């Protein structure tokens, strides 16, 4: 263990995340002089401080002791929620459950937020009349609007609409000559007609000067509104865009992680809604004990599709897919779970279950890339072709014997 090398490592790590010695000292509960001594190699943090640094930076103590500078570029998890944020103008498009929550959240953490909805939307009319929906109440500081005129002053444009409506919204933004904006997509799905990921759909229509990012991961409005924290992901093809958004959007309520695989994150996030419908079907038949098998096989088949499309198999085990299973396969707030359960019980379900549409696109992608997707295929045949649910699900779990990891 070389104190000078460790000092250089800690110095570069701190600079990488653009934090000062004072900020680090405050977070660690030490003096700035102590931090300075670490970085010059005149002192080494004791074991308790090394543990704190390890947790703070999301790296192992072993990495700190090895002081391997080449690994720094892979450490993309750090956020200082307490660090002062620069106030931004945010224009949120979509006044549904999630879009309204995002507007509420971004206003809560100190941004200037406008929430847009169509004038003819009953949901928007209710918000403008009462300032609330069935999930939350909006503060007076948040602007409600049915006009897109505010786009010009926006630093960030956040979109939360049904996945199949994204191209239409992107075309509207293009007609408004939106340029040089960071556009954040806060929905999960794949365009049915083209099989394109949502970041691709936005890029197809928007001016090339705009920067596209996605905001994905687990969480329900009801839980966030009552103060229950969760972890989510922001991903983009542009590292600086991820850096800026994570610093601007993070708080004690939502801890954001840096996505490192845009393909895997988008496909994984979309596909988990399909697995959620399958879980609801199992619940409807009182077969919830099979959810464990569903989770194991679901991650396996979606990983195969991600790899075939050029992504990383490991992404499926992150927040975009497996990390979202609790909220989608078990929570009473999950629309996809409720839809699947209602469907097999012959009941109507009036809310949007994005997996109903996504399964059509996933099935097309599976065929296009030559990937076998038995769970997605079963869900598709049940909800879109009218196949008998019990026999389809029984067949799914009675498939021929083979190695578990094949």
Q: In this predicted model, what pLDDT tens digit does every residue of 344-399 receive, in sequence order?
A: 999 988 787 899 999 999 999 999 999 999 999 999 999 999 999 988 988 887 75
In a domain? residue 291: yes
- Residue 68: per-residue pLDDT: 66
Q: Are residues 253 and 106 in the same domain?
A: yes
302, pLDDT greater than 80: yes
Q: Are residues 228 and 129 in the same domain?
A: yes
Q: What is the pLDDT of residues 253-275, one digit of tens each?
A: 999 998 989 999 999 999 999 99
Q: Are residues 247 and 290 in the same domain?
A: no
User: Contact at 8 Å (CB) between 338 and 328?
Assistant: no
Q: Are residues 220 and 167 in the same domain?
A: yes
- Please report, for residues 150, 184, 236, 240, 267, the alpha-carbon distance to residue 216 in angstroms, rounded to integers and kept in the order given: 25, 10, 11, 18, 11
Q: Tell me, what CATH number does 35's domain have? A: 1.10.260.40
- Residue 391: per-residue pLDDT: 87
User: Contact at 8 Å (CB) between 45 and 53?
Assistant: yes
- Please report, for residues 156, 168, 250, 300, 336, the alpha-carbon distance to residue 211 in angstroms, rounded to integers and kept in the order given: 10, 18, 19, 32, 30
- Residue 75: per-residue pLDDT: 47
What letter does residue 190 receive in the DSSP assignment? B
Asked which of 227, 260, 293 is the last residue of a domain, the reply is 260
pTM of the predicted protein model: 0.78
Query: How many domains does the chain contain in total?
Result: 3
User: Contact at 8 Å (CB) between 306 and 244?
Assistant: no
**Mean pLDDT rounded to a whole number for the chain:** 89
pLDDT band at 403 (very low <50, low <70, confident <90, very high): low
- Residue 10: per-residue pLDDT: 86
Q: Are residues 218 and 275 in the same domain?
A: no
- Residue 402: per-residue pLDDT: 55
Question: The dihedral of CA 220, 225, 231, 233: what is its sign?
Answer: positive
Catalytic site positions: 272
In a domain? residue 67: no
Q: Are residues 225 and 285 in the same domain?
A: no
In a domain? residue 72: no
pLDDT band at 79 (very low <50, low <70, confident <90, very high): very low
Q: Are residues 268 and 247 in the same domain?
A: no
**pLDDT average, residue stretch 24-29:** 82
CA of residue 360 relative to chain centroid, distance: 21
Query: Among 74-78, 154-158, 239-243, 388-392, which is the least confidently predicted range?
Result: 74-78
70, pLDDT greater than 70: no
Asked which of 231, 260, 289 is the last residue of a domain, the reply is 260
Q: Are residues 49 and 145 in the same domain?
A: no
Q: What is the pLDDT of residues 115-135, one digit of tens each?
A: 999 999 999 999 999 999 998
- Residue 254: per-residue pLDDT: 94
Residues of the chain with pLDDT > 70, as a percent, come to 93
Q: Are residues 238 and 105 in the same domain?
A: yes
**pLDDT average, residue stretch 169-180:** 95
In a domain? residue 332: yes
In a domain? residue 81: no
Q: Are residues 36 and 143 in the same domain?
A: no
44, pLDDT greater than 80: yes
Q: Which range in 145-154, 301-310, 319-328 is most confidently predicted, on average pLDDT?
A: 301-310
Q: Tell me, what CATH number does 365's domain have? A: 1.10.1040.10
State the residue range of the domain holding 18. 3-55
pLDDT band at 72 (very low <50, low <70, confident <90, very high): low
Q: Are residues 95 and 191 in the same domain?
A: yes
User: Contact at 8 Å (CB) between 354 and 161?
Assistant: no
Asked which of 226, 260, 294 is the last residue of a domain, the reply is 260
User: Contact at 8 Å (CB) between 123 and 117?
Assistant: yes
In a domain? residue 62: no
Q: What is the pLDDT of residues 1-13, one digit of tens each?
A: 678 888 888 888 7
In a domain? residue 120: yes
* Rounded CA separation 307/325 (Å): 20
Helices (H), 181-334: 198-205, 221-225, 239-249, 262-284, 291-308, 325
Residues of the chain with pLDDT > 90, as a percent, come to 67
56, pLDDT greater than 90: no
* Rounded CA separation 399/397 (Å): 6
Q: Are residues 104 and 246 in the same domain?
A: yes
In a domain? residue 224: yes
- Residue 281: per-residue pLDDT: 95
- Residue 1: per-residue pLDDT: 60
Q: Tell me, what CATH number does 188's domain have? A: 3.40.50.720
């Amino acid at each position: 263990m070389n104190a000078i090398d460790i000092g250089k490592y800690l110095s570069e790590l701190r600079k990488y995340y653009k934090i000062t010695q004072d900020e680090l000292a405050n977070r660690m509960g030490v003096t700035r002089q102590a931090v300075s001594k670490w970085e010059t190699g005149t002192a080494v943090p004791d074991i308790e401080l090394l543990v704190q640094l390890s947790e703070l930076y999301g790296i192992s103590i072993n990495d700190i002791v090895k002081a391997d500078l080449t690994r720094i570029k892979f450490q993309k998890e750090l956020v200082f929620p307490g660090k002062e944020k620069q106030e931004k103008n945010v224009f949120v498009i979509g006044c549904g459950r999630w879009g309204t929550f995002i507007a509420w959240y971004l206003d809560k953490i100190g941004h200037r937020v406008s929430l847009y909805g169509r004038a003819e939307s009953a949901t928007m009319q209710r918000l403008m009349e009462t300032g609330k929906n069935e999930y939350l109440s909006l503060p007076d500081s948040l602007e409600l609007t049915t006009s897109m005129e505010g786009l010009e002053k926006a630093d960030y444009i956040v979109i939360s609409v049904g996945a199949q409506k994204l191209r239409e919204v992107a075309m509207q933004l293009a007609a408004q000559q939106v340029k040089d904006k960071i556009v954040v997509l806060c929905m999960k799905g794949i365009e049915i007609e083209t099989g394109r990921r949502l970041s691709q759909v936005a890029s197809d229509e928007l001016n090339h000067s705009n920067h596209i990012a996605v905001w994905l991961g687990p969480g329900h409005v009801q839980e966030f509104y009552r103060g229950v924290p969760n972890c989510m992901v922001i991903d983009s093809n542009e590292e600086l865009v991820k850096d800026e958004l994570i610093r601007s959007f993070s708080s004690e309520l939502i801890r954001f992680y840096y996505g490192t695989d845009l393909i895997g994150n988008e496909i994984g996030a979309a596909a988990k809604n399909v697995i959620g419908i399958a879980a609801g079907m199992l619940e409807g038949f009182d077969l919830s004990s099979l959810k464990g098998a569903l989770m194991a096989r679901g991650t396996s088949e979606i990983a195969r599709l991600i790899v075939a499309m050029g992504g990383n198999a490991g992404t499926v085990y992150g927040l975009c897919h497996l990390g979202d299973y609790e909220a989608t396969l078990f929570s009473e707030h999950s629309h996809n779970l409720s839809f699947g359960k209602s469907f097999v019980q012959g009941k109507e379900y009036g809310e949007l279950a994005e997996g109903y549409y996504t399964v059509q696109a996933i099935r097309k992608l599976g065929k296009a890339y030559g990937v076998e997707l038995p769970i997605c295929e079963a869900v598709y045949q049940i909800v879109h072709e009218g196949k008998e649910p019990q026999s389809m699900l029984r067949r799914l779990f009675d498939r021929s014997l083979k190695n578990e990891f094949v």
